[in-house]
């Protein structure tokens, strides 16, 4: 837990890790609260038609205990991987909690994955159980080898083939279960990397990953829990951001969570949900925030009770930060991390620890630095790689069946990120871009984020991505891929106007010499732009 100290230096000096010798995520996020306050609200499960089901910690414990009993009786052994292929719902929370209490390893899978992505992860992880729905079953039936064999296959949409009905199967199980006595280092969760570079790798985490997240989670949400706090994120709970920056830490702190999955993110629907449910805390990826920006005067249109906004996944950019301050009267607090080691850098308006254009400072308890290729620390103003020092409770145990890749992730005691950054004299860290995203033009090293941040300030631009395009004279030129707002059409005049707009606001070496208008941008399931696909287009 983060001490409620509203002075940055004093907070860092006072913080100490206190992770018990025996720890289980399922107990921490559910049973601990259910024993004391069984009627305490845990989830608001919102159906497609807007119907809201309130789920208590007591109900969550009983149902997760039934599932844990079913896992064990089905032959699922400690350490086996159980996949969850579902949109945000109470069943996702129940499944995670049950898997942890049974001593197995949860493997969340994004509902947006196609069949190739799904079968790769199921095969690579050696999954022995799957909890899904009719849509998930339909995808798996289309696999070249047909439906994989599982010890346990459940569908929340009813029985189908080898799949048992989720609720019916659980109804026959007892509601009491003794959780497996796990240590913080016992495997609990495996999340595959986004695959922005190369094949996705399974990052295996111990139970300590949850307490490791709590300081950063409390920092970016300004010392929650506070009275009335209620959290929602549109991020898929299969992503480290949605799961570990949202669902699990909220439940562990006794904060109820809204479960609502949009088939397609709609900013007006999102604002309406936030207003209707009186949501106080939101975790929003930068792409979704830029879409929320398209709704004019949200405070005048909707009755908002927001207290905190946190964002992660890509650098936010100064313009979006300033928009939130002007349009919402709130500071967007940024969080930075990777699937392998998440939420280690953050900003906090409550501490006055925020600076436009910078992602924040190291969260208490984490040692983060900008390092050179030899592992030595960079000086302020010197560009290098963002790295985290081990040991760190939020750091992964290693890549699944990838010992060499795990070793290569480190330089000495530093876990490398592949992200370029720089610190200023005050210790703030600015994210420049991934190693392979940095553009080299006429000897300048240019990060795409600053260009993209400038581009979306143009009234015609909804979304933007900047990449380097090979050029015989300059090594690379800046090329921009733009999604226009609905009321604008591509034209040569608009291209020239956007180009001049960036040139005047940034510099003559950073403006996009080439602009291509597109209907959409390629993105990972976590909302990150896949710039390598754009570079491949030329």
Chain segment 336-369, per-residue pLDDT in tens: 999 999 999 999 999 999 998 899 999 999 999 9
Query: How confident is residue 473, by pLDDT bands cut at 50, 70 and 90?
Result: confident
Domain of residue 519, residue span: 436-537
Domain assignment present for residue 428? The answer is: no
Average pLDDT, the chain: 92
Number of domains in the chain: 2
Q: For residues 487 and 342, state if they share a domain.
A: no
Tokens of 238: 């299969």
pLDDT in tens, 410-430: 999 999 998 899 999 999 999
Q: For residues 322 and 190, state if they share a domain.
A: yes
Q: Which residues contact 508 (CB under 8 A, 6 or more apart)?
A: none
For residues 395 and 438, what is the distance between their CA atoms, to the nearest angstrom?
A: 26
Query: How confident is residue 398, by pLDDT bands cut at 50, 70 and 90?
Result: very high
For residues 211 and 22, what is the distance between their CA atoms, to the nearest angstrom?
A: 12
Q: For residues 263 and 383, state if they share a domain.
A: yes
Percent of the chain having pLDDT more than 70?
Answer: 96
Query: How confident is residue 526, by pLDDT bands cut at 50, 70 and 90?
Result: low
Is the CB of residue 267 less than 8 Å from the CB of residue 291?
yes
Task: Identify the pLDDT of residue 433.
Answer: 74
CA angle 347, 348, 352 (to 5 degrees): 110
Domain assignment present for residue 353? The answer is: yes
DSSP single-letter state for residue 152 = E
| 475-484 and 514-517 strand pairing | parallel
Specify the CATH number for the domain of residue 41: 3.40.50.12780
Task: Identify the pLDDT of residue 497.
Answer: 94
Q: Report the predicted TM-score, pTM, of the whole model to 2 decimal places.
A: 0.85
Least confident stretch, 73-77, 261-265, 388-392, 488-492: 261-265
Task: Identify the pLDDT of residue 525.
Answer: 60
Task: Identify the pLDDT of residue 435.
Answer: 66
Find the helix or strand (DSSP H, E) in which 208 lies.
none
Which position has the token pair 């300030």? 457
Task: Identify the pLDDT of residue 320.
Answer: 85
Domain assignment present for residue 287? The answer is: yes
168-184 mean pLDDT: 98
Q: For residues 451 and 487, state if they share a domain.
A: yes
pLDDT in tens, 259-297: 998 778 889 999 999 999 999 999 998 878 888 988 999
DSSP single-letter state for residue 457 = T
Q: For residues 411 and 456, state if they share a domain.
A: no
Which position has the token pair 């069949």? 115
Q: Which residues contact 496 (CB under 8 A, 6 or more apart)?
A: none
Task: Identify the pLDDT of residue 341.
Answer: 97
Domain assignment present for residue 164? The answer is: no
Least confident stretch, 169-173, 194-198, 346-350: 194-198
Q: For residues 383 and 523, state if they share a domain.
A: no
Q: Which residues contact 262 (CB under 8 A, 6 or more apart)?
A: 234, 269, 270
Query: How confident is residue 206, by pLDDT bands cut at 50, 70 and 90?
Result: very high
Is the CB of residue 448 less than 8 Å from the CB of residue 466?
yes
Q: Which residues contact 53 (CB under 8 A, 6 or more apart)?
A: 43, 44, 45, 46, 47, 90
For residues 43 and 506, what is the distance between their CA atoms, to the nearest angstrom?
A: 45
Is the CB of residue 237 less than 8 Å from the CB of residue 247?
yes
The yes-or-no verdict on residue 528 having pLDDT over 90 is: no
Task: Identify the pLDDT of residue 452.
Answer: 86
The yes-or-no verdict on residue 99 having pLDDT over 80 is: yes
Tokens of 264: 């397609």
For residues 46 and 142, what is the distance between their CA atoms, to the nearest angstrom?
A: 30
Least confident stretch, 164-178, 396-410, 489-503: 489-503
Domain assignment present for residue 1? The answer is: no
Q: For residues 257 and 296, state if they share a domain.
A: yes
177-181 mean pLDDT: 98
Q: For residues 184 and 279, state if they share a domain.
A: yes
Domain final residue pick, 398, 423, 448: 423
Domain assignment present for residue 17? The answer is: yes
Query: How confident is residue 444, by pLDDT bands cut at 50, 70 and 90?
Result: low
Task: Identify the pLDDT of residue 537.
Answer: 85
| 439-441 and 444-446 strand pairing | antiparallel
Specify the CATH number for the domain of residue 477: 3.30.300.30
Tokens of 412: 């000495």
CA angle 358, 359, 365 (to 5 degrees): 130
448-476 mean pLDDT: 85
Task: Identify the pLDDT of residue 195.
Answer: 55
Q: For residues 402 and 520, state if they share a domain.
A: no
Q: Omega of the bond prior to 107 within 30 degrees of 0, cis?
A: no
Tokens of 318: 């100064």
Helix and strand numbers, DSSP H then E, in the chain: 19, 27
Task: Give every strand in the sheet of 257-259, ordered side by side.
Answer: 52-56, 41-46, 257-259, 231-232, 281-283, 308-311, 332-338, 341-346, 361-362
For residues 71 and 195, what is the distance between their CA atoms, to the nearest angstrom?
A: 30
Query: How confident is residue 310, by pLDDT bands cut at 50, 70 and 90?
Result: very high
Is the CB of residue 316 less than 8 Å from the CB of residue 359?
yes
Q: For residues 443 and 414, state if they share a domain.
A: no
Residue 336 φ/ψ, nearest 5 degrees? -130, 140
Least confident stretch, 227-236, 348-357, 428-437: 428-437
Is the CB of residue 184 less than 8 Å from the CB of residue 19?
yes
Domain final residue pick, 423, 457, 481: 423
Least confident stretch, 64-73, 133-142, 290-299, 487-496: 290-299
Domain assignment present for residue 125? The answer is: no
Q: For residues 387 and 452, state if they share a domain.
A: no
Q: Which of 317-331, 412-426, 518-532 has the highest mean pLDDT?
A: 412-426
Query: How confident is residue 146, by pLDDT bands cut at 50, 70 and 90?
Result: confident
For residues 81 and 83, what is the distance between their CA atoms, to the nearest angstrom?
A: 6
Q: For residues 100 and 54, state if they share a domain.
A: yes
113-142 mean pLDDT: 93
Domain assignment present for residue 167? The answer is: no
Task: Identify the pLDDT of residue 194.
Answer: 67
Task: Identify the pLDDT of residue 475.
Answer: 72
308-320 mean pLDDT: 84
């Amino acid at each position: 837990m983060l001490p409620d100290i509203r002075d940055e230096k004093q907070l860092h000096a006072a913080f100490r890790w206190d992770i018990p010798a025996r720890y289980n995520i399922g107990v921490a996020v559910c049973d601990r609260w259910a024993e004391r306050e069984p009627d305490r609200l845990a989830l608001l499960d919102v159906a497609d038609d807007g119907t809201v089901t309130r789920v208590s910690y007591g109900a969550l414990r009983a149902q997760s205990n039934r599932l844990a009993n079913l896992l064990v009786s089905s032959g699922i052994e400690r350490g086996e991987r159980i996949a969850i292929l579902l949109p945000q719902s109470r069943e996702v929370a129940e499944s995670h909690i049950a898997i942890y209490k049974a001593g197995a390893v949860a493997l969340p899978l994004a509902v947006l994955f196609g069949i190739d992505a799904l079968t790769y992860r199921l095969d690579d992880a050696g999954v022995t159980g799957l909890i899904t729905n009719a849509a998930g079953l339909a995808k798996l039936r289309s696999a070249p080898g047909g439906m994989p064999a599982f010890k346990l296959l459940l569908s929340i949409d009813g029985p189908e083939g080898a799949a048992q009905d989720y609720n019916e199967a659980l109804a026959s199980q007892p509601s009491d279960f003794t959780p497996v006595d796990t240590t913080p280092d016992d495997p609990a969760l495996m999340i595959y990397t986004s695959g922005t570079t190369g094949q996705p790798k399974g990052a295996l985490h111990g139970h300590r990953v949850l307490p490791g997240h709590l300081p950063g989670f409390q920092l970016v949400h300004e010392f929650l829990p506070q009275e009335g706090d209620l959290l929602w994120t549109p991020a898929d709970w299969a992503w480290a951001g949605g799961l570990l920056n949202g669902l699990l830490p909220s439940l562990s702190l006794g904060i109820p969570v809204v479960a609502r999955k949009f088939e397609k993110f709609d900013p007006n629907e999102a604002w309406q949900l936030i207003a209707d449910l009186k949501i106080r805390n939101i975790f929003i990826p930068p792409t979704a925030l830029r879409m929320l920006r398209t709704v004019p005067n949200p405070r005048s249109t909707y009755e908002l009770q927001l207290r905190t906004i946190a964002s992660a996944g890509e650098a936010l950019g100064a313009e979006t930060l300033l928009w939130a301050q002007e349009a919402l009267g709130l500071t967007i607090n940024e969080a930075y991390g990777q699937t392998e080691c998440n939420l280690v850098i953050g900003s906090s308006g409550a501490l006055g620890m925020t600076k436009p254009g910078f992602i924040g400072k190291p969260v208490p308890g984490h040692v983060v630095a900008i390092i050179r290729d030899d592992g030595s620390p960079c000086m302020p103003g010197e560009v290098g790689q963002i790295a985290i020092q081990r040991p760190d409770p939020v750091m992964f145990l290693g890549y699944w069946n990838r010992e060499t890749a795990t070793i290569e992730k480190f330089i000495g005691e530093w876990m490398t990120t592949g992200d370029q950054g720089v610190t200023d004299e005050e210790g703030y860290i600015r994210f420049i871009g991934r190693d392979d995203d940095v553009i080299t033009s006429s000897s300048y090293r240019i990060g795409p984020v600053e260009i993209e941040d400038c581009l979306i300030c143009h009234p015609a631009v909804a979304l933007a991505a900047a990449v380097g395009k090979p050029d015989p004279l300059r090594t690379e030129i800046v090329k921009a891929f733009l999604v226009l707002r609905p009321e604008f059409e591509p034209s040569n005049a608009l291209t020239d106007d956007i180009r001049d707009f960036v040139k005047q606001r940034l510099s003559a070496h950073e403006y996009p010499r080439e602009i291509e208008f597109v209907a959409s941008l390629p993105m990972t399931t976590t909302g990150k732009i896949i710039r390598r696909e754009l570079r491949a287009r030329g």
